[in-house]
Structure 1
């Protein structure tokens, strides 16, 4: 056995030791979680073996199978880390309406390069501040102001979808993304870009690449290792798509700022 192999073996044993070493708090959580129904547990992999050996596209199918077999609330193990999957509206309501349990799990870190610091990723006191700041924007009276915007863009969406009728199945996601963008940009910034009408699909493709890569990193975290991530071509494609998405948003803000500058100049 050469030195490199021996070193790798020692590192692996050390990692396994850290994953499996006794811990009072972990032991208590493990006992409680194992009282819940869930898939069989295996050493090192926990209950995640079927997921990590399957493509991301099959994960929804696998989780749906678990849901039917083990019920709307079941436990799982990713290595030594316990998880609870909830599909019951009643149970989900208790979690989502909680102001105490608001910290995000480690999987959300994969979204940081994409979203930065915002309500979706913040935790603790910062989350509370952002939530309080944004709540008025989603009040019924505020949303009613923009009903005409939603209606007009929905008519454009229907017209776009009608062109596909009779041609077999097709992916509606690109249409919904552009519809959502048109509504968001018009209601928040007052700009009507008609992305759906003009079939601006470059952003959709870039967004799709970013989404798929983030999903891959969440479900197969070892892909994040540079010795796997770089040669696979995922990093280059991901960074190019992410840069385009950021540039797209920056350009929209520049247009809006430019409009405001023009208004100020015209009024002076």
Structure 2
């Protein structure tokens, strides 16, 4: 009897989920891959992290200027046309972050990147003067030094084969950010075994996994995995 009731509840849940997707798709009338009950389009992203952007790019080619995807019941709109992107990033009203940003809060707190509303506006107003030309000009020696290190790194890797640029550029950016904002030189481009750099790399990979993985995005399932312990340690 209990098994029958559980089965009925499961069927009802699946049917309800399917009805939700059908109604939502019609409501917004934005093209995209057909969602499955419960998981939405989560099945598309059960892959290695290095294939994630390729899948999004393929969908952009297929659905042109904009498309929608569902991860579980969460809806995402992906924009590729400059006109739509400009409207979004120039808006001072559309500033509420998606739920994916919640994954960043244990690491970054509730700052400019993750906050919204009055707090976001006050933080932005406070930080804007820091990006004035005269301020940035004083950091040119830092940018030049780290830029030269970046060039040396790229020269060593220039053997005619393709390379993964993201890790190289990320370390250069980290050197610039920490040295200009925090006044601390990490030498991230040279010190590959730095504990700080390793922690950033670990937590960045975990965040990326949580954003694309149906089950890892759920706090309960995430708490049961080794990734949670690695996340807390980082």
Largest Rg, 1 or 2: 1
| TM-score, L = length of structure 1 | 0.73
Residues 1:10 and 1:209: Cα distance change in structure 2 (over 3 Å): farther
CA 37–177 in structure 1, closer or farther in 2 if over 3 Å, else same: closer
Shift of the 178–38 alpha-carbon distance from structure 1 to 2, 3 Å rule, reads: closer
User: Which SS does the other structure have where 2:215 is aligned?
Assistant: helix
Contact 2:68 2:75 in 1 (8 A): yes
Q: 1:217 Cα shift?
A: 1.4
In structure 2, relative to structure 1, the CA distance for the partners of 1:188 and 1:56 (3 Å cut) is closer
Q: Which residue of 1 aligns with 2:99?
A: 106
Displacement after TM superposition at 1:233 (Å): 2.0
**Does 1:139 pair with 2:137?**
no
1:67 maps to what in 2?
60
Partners of 1:188 and 1:110 in 2: CA distance: 23
Equivalence for 1:250: none
Secondary structure of 2:159's counterpart equals coil
Partner of 1:160: 153
Q: Give the equivalent residue in structure 1 for 2:110.
A: 117
CA distance in 1, matches of 2:123, 2:232: 28
Q: Which moved more, 1:94-103 or 1:166-175?
A: 166-175
| Structure-2-length-normalised TM-score | 0.82
- Do the aligned residues in 1 keep the contact of 2:18 with 2:36 (CA within 8 Å)? no
Structure 1 unaligned spans of 5+: 243-268
1:58-100 Cα offsets, whole Å, 9 max, x none, are 2212211111111021223334443211012221110111111
> Which runs of structure 2 are paired with 1:1-268 in the superposition (5 Å)?
3=2, 5=3, 9=7, 12=10, 15-16=13-14, 19=17, 30-34=25-29, 36-46=30-40, 48-166=41-159, 168-223=161-216, 228-229=221-222, 232-240=225-233, 242=234
- Give the count of matched residue pairs: 233
Q: Kindly tell me: are residues 147 and 31 of structure 1, through their superposed partners in 2, closer, same or farther at Cα, counting changes over 3 Å? A: same
Shift of 1:235: 1.9
1:222 aligned counterpart, secondary structure: coil
| RMSD of aligned alpha carbons | 3.0
**Cα shift at 1:52:** 4.2
Could you report, residue by residue, the CA deviation over 1:129-154 in whole angstroms, capped at 9, with x for unpaired residues? 11111111112222122112101111
Q: Which moved more, 1:204-213 or 1:66-75?
A: 204-213
Q: How has the CA–CA distance of structure 1 residues 182 and 164 changed in structure 2, closer, same or farther, with 3 Å as cutoff?
A: same
Q: Distance in 1 between matches of 2:215 and 2:96?
A: 23
Structure with higher RCO (Cα < 8 A, 6+ apart): 2
